[in-house]
Structure 1
Amino acid sequence: MTKRKRNRPALKRLRRQAVEVDFDGGTLTSDGGLLLLREVDNKLNLIKRIDQAIRDPRDPFHITHSQAEILTSRIFAIAAGYEDVNDQQQLRDDPAFQVAAGRTPRINGSFDDDEDPTLASPSTHCRFENRISEKELFELNKVLVDTFLDSFNVPPDEITLDYDATDDRVHGNQDKKAFNAYYDSYCFQPLYVFCDDQLVVAHLRPANRGDAHHARGITKLLVARIRQRWAHVKITLRGDGGFAVERLMRWCDKNDVHYVFGLPKNSVLVDEIACEMTRARILQSHLGGKQACFKWFRYRTRRTWDRHRWVVGKAEYTGKGPNPRFVVTNRFSSDGIVDTTYHRPMVDGKRQPLQVETPGTWCSAPCDPEKFYRERYCMRGEMENRIKEQQLCLFADRTSCSRFAANRFRLMLSSFAYVLLDGLRRLGLSATKHSRLRVDTIRLRLLKIAARVRVTCRRVVFHLCSHCPWEPLFNQVLARLCRSD
């Protein structure tokens, strides 16, 4: 009679049969869908571009794991949901990651010494992360921009670049940590730039410099890179009130770049929409809910702005009281609008309401203010969902290195994982009912598929789960990615 040693807790029996579990299944993987990401990378040529942007100082005669292999295993792991470098200790033997990195998995559990498929260890990944320089990080951002530009077959007539910042809490006594009063914590403050769903810039910054820190310099480089490829494209910047700073807006005015920025409220702006706010309050008292009235007007700060700019004011009244909002733009600065002088006279030592002196005829409002506010500004809220994907699903806040440059590189690794998954969404799911899936849903449905890997001298075959509920979707995406252009 065969006796079996029980090394694991006993599971509930299935009638007369014992139920047991172990991890001795052989050459299996829980990430069979990584084959799709491998095809996306083949389309985008992303890993090769990243590899070329990073200098490899190692002696080529003593290298076991190439830089491209290290990048592939790390970026694909983030896309598959493995946030920690320590996960590489187990993933280095996973056949799906080995195939993605260009290595043939083991045949029947054995391999020759010259054909060891084992990938890089966590210590190799750590050394790699900590040798990245600021110059190489700059080149990696170029890779992001070039990948975005190459995604268009025909140059677009107009693009809108959404700017936003978020918090990234620190993990201890890290380089360049700072306290941010708005987030009430010690953190970093990464700056993201998106165009629709595509990531264009990801830049990690200290948290005590303001939302617009480095925004002007990044915009100059970004616009130059875009216009080098697309000379006649119209560019619009869009962001919240943290980016409505004079240095950035003045540069946009001088370089034919449009902007639509939120504008922090003050007493002058609130006075300008006082009549609209009264009307909204009356409507709210009769109709209930939220009621809003909109108005165009010209505005210039007394000390900092060098010119008058168009502002759309939203006079909103809710059950909790007034909620005024303002948006500043230069999209109508070339429409023949007559410049206007604003001033607030002093009477008996008190500043009086805003008055307007117009040298000439006042021009009509550029367009419907409500339509402009909702279609041109409010659509920036979609970008915040993309940032949530970065932070919550792709571990962009896993910046726990002591060196600031290493943390910037970790943000870039998360960004490249997003580019791969967004490429899968854009190339494989476009024009379907699944085209708006979040990256974590894409991961769950298309990447996390169990597979048995069979390796022969001629083939590497992935036998995916027979009862996968998303088999039709997987086959559809695979057919799209593998078809010739």
Structure 2
Amino acid sequence: MGETLTTWSPSCNGSVNVQLSGDATTSDAGALLLREALDRSGVSEAMEDHLVDPRDPRRVRHSLASQLRAIVLQRAMGWYDLNDTGTLQQDPVWQLACSDARGLTPLGQARPSQATLSRLLSCLGSDDNIDIVHEGLLRLAIWRYRSLSSAHRPRQVTLDIDGLPIEVFGHQGGSAYNGHAKARIYSPLIASLAESGDMVGGLLREGNAGPAEDADTWIPHLVQRLSEGMNRDVSQIRVRLDAGFTDGETLRAMDSRDIAYLGRLKSNSVLQAKAEPYLVRPPGRSPATPREWCHDLEYQAESWESPRRVVLVVQEKPEDLLFHAFFLVTNLNKLDYPPEKVLALYRKRGKAEAHMGELKSALNVHLSSTDRGGSTVQQVMARNQANLLLSLCAYQVLHGLRCLVETQTRQGWSLIRLREQVLKVAATITVHARQIRLRLGAAADRWWPSTLKALPRLSALS
């Protein structure tokens, strides 16, 4: 620390001289684009209005809104660890992107420190605040939906529920070793909208939680809030489940609230016996293209109080003499959803898996709250629940900007490509006549003009 560099020449080319200039520069000019998107959603201000702040008002230096922006925007830009906060402390763009102040004031203010942001997680994890953070995530998804033109808003949406094992290191409270993942993990539930790729909910659970644990209370609450937020814009919210979630309690909870669902059933001897009459090869030579058949059945598992509709899917495989069969359970009515349509809807579940994969790769979701001092397991879990929801918020802000760029450029974008080609742009900052000017590097020439032109489409959520 404290060393100075006069000049340095790389061995590949002695004509190159590298110097430290001390100029006000940044490589994260795109943080201002993300701030614009976040401001248009109104989420950080709405959350601050409802969050309970236990701090002494006379000693507050950084508002909860500015701290929320710092964590969400840093993660969206790829600065996943709170320790990275110190690295960005003197970056002028980060001072501008996170501050509540206007004019030249942000350039003279210190950003929230790593310790301050760590205390924020404890504050957000309290019983009074954690629901507010979840509401903020829901609001981001509804804001994204409302930003679509009426012609592009789906009238029926599918809520995908899946588990997302998150590896942890050390012995964090609530984590447990998982033999399938071969690691010490937490086992949160994640909810996403299949049609739009939005993340709408996250529930942190202990590492040894069963696949469907807490799903019977969490899913109906999430559907209700989503339905209230989308008001009359959506005619139906369907829930799509994997085999681990089609237990009696979860299905019973959704049936009691008239929530439409479909999910895969684990095979058993009773189901196989019901399928046996349909596993007969029809006469004649098999065509070159493997065939597939769907049949409606009725089945009652031991944990179910009454029979339910089950769709049997029979598949012909060229390398196998025997048929392959699997089962889907649903309460969708047969008139609007014949067996073939139920299967087609279930197969779109691959979109949810793609969204989850992108969440892990682009946001590098990890939970690092440890058992510090006298922290209980519940306190550690609460901090990590807040941590998880803020990572999902970062995904939402990135995703909102990504969809805007896709519409403008008419090509597909991954979140990583968006970050690397649109957001990670160098800029030089100068101050003149009380005006702050950012001169962007040449890398911005390709995508920034069209992105800035499209930003007004992100209308504020009323």
Q: TM-score, normalised by structure 1?
A: 0.81
Corresponding position: 1:249 with 2:248: no
Distance 1:267 1:317, change over 3 A: farther
Corresponding position: 1:440 with 2:438: no
Corresponding position: 1:54 with 2:46: no
Structure showing greater relative contact order (alpha-carbon pairs closer than 8 Å, 6 or more residues apart): 2
Deviates more, 1:143-152 or 1:85-94: 143-152
Contact 1:83 1:398 in 2 (8 A): no
| Higher gyration radius (CA) | 1
Offset of residue 373 of structure 1:
0.8
Corresponding position: 1:123 with 2:100: no
Query: How far apart, CA to CA, are the structure 1 residues paired with 2:262 and 2:53?
Result: 42
State the one-letter code of the partner of 1:462. L
Contact 1:294 1:369 in 2 (8 A): no
Match of 1:373 in 2: 343
Match of 2:353 in 1: 384
Deviations 1:16-58 (A, max 9, x none): x3x2334434100001112211211121112213323432222
Query: How far apart, CA to CA, are the structure 1 residues paired with 2:26 and 2:101?
Result: 14
Corresponding position: 1:212 with 2:186: no
Corresponding position: 1:406 with 2:394: no
Offset of residue 292 of structure 1:
4.6
Deviations 1:114-173 (A, max 9, x none): 973220121222222233313311221122223323444468632211111121112111
Query: Paired residue for 2:191, among 190, 193, 196?
Result: 193
Match of 2:455 in 1: 481
Distance 1:272 1:137, change over 3 A: same
Corresponding position: 1:221 with 2:198: no
Corresponding position: 1:239 with 2:236: no
Deviations 1:368-409 (A, max 9, x none): 5344312x1011111111112222211222444331111111
Distance 1:125 1:23, change over 3 A: farther
Query: How far apart, CA to CA, are the structure 2 residues paired with 1:282 and 1:417?
Result: 56
State the one-letter code of the partner of 2:253. W
SS in 1 for 2:364: coil
Whichever structure has more helix as a proportion of its residues is 2
Query: How far apart, CA to CA, are the structure 2 residues paired with 1:100 and 1:6?
Result: 30
Query: Paired residue for 2:132, among 136, 139, 147?
Result: 139
SS in 2 for 1:430: helix
Deviations 1:399-432 (A, max 9, x none): 4433111111111111110111111123443264
Offset of residue 94 of structure 1:
1.0
State the one-letter code of the partner of 1:122. Q
Contact 2:141 2:396 in 1 (8 A): no
Match of 2:375 in 1: none
SS in 2 for 1:187: strand
State the one-letter code of the partner of 2:448. F
- The count of corresponding residues between Structure 1 and Structure 2 is 436
Corresponding position: 1:327 with 2:328: yes
Query: How far apart, CA to CA, are the structure 2 residues paired with 1:166 and 1:330?
Result: 26
Query: How far apart, CA to CA, are the structure 2 residues paired with 1:447 and 1:283?
Result: 57
Match of 1:312 in 2: 311
Distance 1:198 1:406, change over 3 A: same
Query: How far apart, CA to CA, are the structure 1 residues paired with 2:38 and 2:92?
Result: 18
Offset of residue 484 of structure 1:
8.8
Contact 1:33 1:446 in 2 (8 A): yes
Query: How far apart, CA to CA, are the structure 1 residues paired with 2:40 and 2:25?
Result: 27
RMSD value, Cα: 3.0
Distance 1:455 1:275, change over 3 A: farther
Query: How far apart, CA to CA, are the structure 1 residues paired with 2:100 and 2:432?
Result: 14
Deviates more, 1:425-434 or 1:203-212: 425-434
Offset of residue 104 of structure 1:
7.5
Query: Paired residue for 2:430, among 448, 454, 464?
Result: 454
Q: Which runs of 5+ in 2 are unaligned?
A: 372-379
Corresponding position: 1:420 with 2:412: no
SS in 2 for 1:311: strand
Distance 1:305 1:13, change over 3 A: closer
Distance 1:249 1:33, change over 3 A: same
State the one-letter code of the partner of 1:373. L
Distance 1:6 1:472, change over 3 A: closer
Distance 1:207 1:101, change over 3 A: same
Query: Paired residue for 2:172, among 171, 174, 178?
Result: 174
Distance 1:133 1:384, change over 3 A: same
Deviations 1:36-89 (A, max 9, x none): 112111211122133234322222222222222222122111111111111110
Query: How far apart, CA to CA, are the structure 2 residues paired with 1:432 and 1:82?
Result: 27
Corresponding position: 1:429 with 2:406: yes
Deviates more, 1:443-452 or 1:218-227: 218-227
Query: How far apart, CA to CA, are the structure 2 residues paired with 1:136 and 1:126?
Result: 15
Offset of residue 307 of structure 1:
2.1
Q: Which runs of 5+ in 1 are unaligned?
A: 336-365
SS in 1 for 2:109: coil
SS in 2 for 1:279: coil
Query: How far apart, CA to CA, are the structure 1 residues paired with 2:181 and 2:12?
Result: 52
Distance 1:246 1:431, change over 3 A: farther
State the one-letter code of the partner of 2:112. A
Corresponding position: 1:69 with 2:66: yes
Give % identity.
Answer: 26
State the one-letter code of the partner of 1:384. E
